[in-house]
Structure 1
Amino acid sequence: MAGATLARELGISLRSLYRDIATLQGEGVPISGEAGVGYVLGPGLTLPPLNFDAVVLGLRFVEKRLPEGLGDDARRALAKIEAVLPKGRSAADVHLLVGAPAAGSAAVLDQIREAIRKEDALKIAYRDKKGDASERTVWPIVGGFFDAAEMVAAWCEMRGDFRHFRLDRIERIALAGRPMERRHRVLLADWRLFRDSRDAG
């Protein structure tokens, strides 16, 4: 399939597609082809068997936490799974549920995902645990779901360092209208080193 066609179907830029293909090839996925020509997934790719309960729980999590976009995809995937299950088996048999997200967090997550995809900076109005408000420009890196809160890890221009922000404390969020000053993959690698150094300490 031509790269431009594949990128369009996936809803990503051609540059992102080339980067992702190179990553998959580096992991040993048998993809042949080249930029400007097209790509073919070759034989030999095997995936480990999936645990049915884990798959259903994961899809429920995405459906609940990201109600639009990925949530719609999760709902469709669950429906397709239901359609091919053997008689007497149902996703309803998986007695594991996911709690509702904090009010408004899905919209904030959508903005964060869009910024990461575009490698754009974000402007946020944030209120810390003491109640102090601040306006910040951040470069989002990754979102995370924890027991107590949903978070985003980002490079904070004001602090000149990595910071973690609770989504329920973000009062306003918008694209800053300019790109991050470092590529996302570089930021992600640096943040992992930062996180690992903190864990080791």
Structure 2
Amino acid sequence: MRPTDRLFEIIQILRGGPGPHRAADLAESLEVSVRTIYRDIAALQAMRVPILGEAGIGYVLRRGYDLPPVNFDIEEAEAISVGLAMLARTGDAGLQSAAVRAARKLSEATPLTDALMTTSWGVPDQALLSDIRAAIRDEQALATLYEGMDGSLTRRTILPIALIYYAEVTVLAAWCRLRGDFRHFRPDRIHECRPAGESFAGEGAPLRRKWEAARQADPAAGRLAGQRSNSTKTG
């Protein structure tokens, strides 16, 4: 989370709950250190955000302070609410945490009923997804150890370009240096994943266009990749 986003989120949390919020609780919610929270509170107070309290006791936001509202009509709000709830199916802890924050902001902006429900059936365990999404955004190659359908392990340097969230599985689309072609990988079969120290800045969008063209030319390959295979092609 960017520092500016974190400052905004601290304001939202202080607005949303009764009583003081301890720095330790804020740090746990935002996945940062308590020291970072102290710095952020000091920065907000320096910007004249009326936060009251102190270290060891907790912080509150003075009544009457508000941010510009987010305006949705009721059907837009319901559509967003259902979409956020369905992120639980992805198994992506980073997206789920972001969805909780977004849902809190949405509930403050627009009155919603609790008549719309989703289930978390089929949630995979994919802790790597936050790192993979960051690599896609930053256009950074990844060095991986990947398990194929036959159980064999191969070391691959890949250029990640897209994540496809199917109902039953998540698939990573990437350019595979080992195969010299696009491949679809199952994140739950990635045993090791680290930055390869190589940027492909500026190539992400062109690679996605080529990948989309290849997928449209062979739609069955994309469907199979989402269901069971480790790539759009065998081997």
Same fold, TM-score > 0.5, yes or no: yes
Structure 1 pair 120/82, CA: closer, same or farther in 2 (3 Å)? same
Which 5+ residue runs of structure 2 have no aligned equivalent?
Answer: 7-71, 222-235
Q: d(CA) in 1 for partners of 2:123 and 2:115? A: 23
The separation in 1 between residues aligned to 2:123 and 2:166, in whole angstroms, is: 11
Which region of structure 1 is more displaced relative to structure 2, 188-197 or 73-82?
A: 73-82
C-alpha contact (below 8 Å) 1:120/1:176 kept by paired residues: yes
Residue 66 of structure 1, aligned match among 82, 92, 97: 92
In structure 1, the gaps of 5 or more residues are 1-6, 12-46
What percentage of residue pairs aligned between the two structures are identical? Answer: 30
Q: Equivalent residues in 2 for 1:9-158 (5 A)? A: 9=4, 50-62=75-87, 65-68=91-94, 70-86=95-111, 89-90=112-113, 92-99=114-121, 101-103=123-125, 105=126, 107-158=127-178
TM-score, normalization by structure 2 = 0.57
Give 2:199's match in structure 1, choosing from 179, 185, 190: 179
Give yes or no for contact 2:143–2:155 (8 Å, CA) kept in 1: yes
TM-score, length-scaled by structure 1: 0.66
- CA distance in 2 between counterparts of 1:108 and 1:136 reads 16
1:190 and 2:215 aligned: no
Paired residues of 1:57 and 1:97 also in contact (CA < 8 A): no
Cα deviation code 1:73-125 (max 9, x no counterpart): 32122122323444xx42x321222336322x1x3111111111211111111
For the aligned residues, what is the CA RMSD? 3.0
Q: Structure 1 residues 142, 49: CA separation in 2 closer, same or farther (over 3 Å shift)?
A: farther
Larger Rg: 2
Displacement of 1:71 in angstroms is: 2.9
Moved more, 161-170 or 59-68: 59-68
How many residue pairs are counted as aligned between the two chains?
155
Equivalent-residue separation in structure 1 for 2:147 and 2:132 (angstroms): 17
Q: 1:9 to 1:63 in 2, by over 3 A?
A: farther
Separation in 1, partners of 2:160, 2:151: 22
For 2:76 and 2:3, how far apart are their aligned partners in 1? 31
Q: Evaluate the alpha carbon distance shift between residue 157 and residue 78 of structure 1 in structure 2; reply closer, same or farther with a 3 A threshold.
A: same
Q: What SS does structure 2 have at the residue aligned with 1:97?
A: coil
More strand by share: 1
Specify whether residues 134 and 141 from structure 1 end up closer, same or farther in structure 2 by C-alpha distance, changes over 3 A only: same
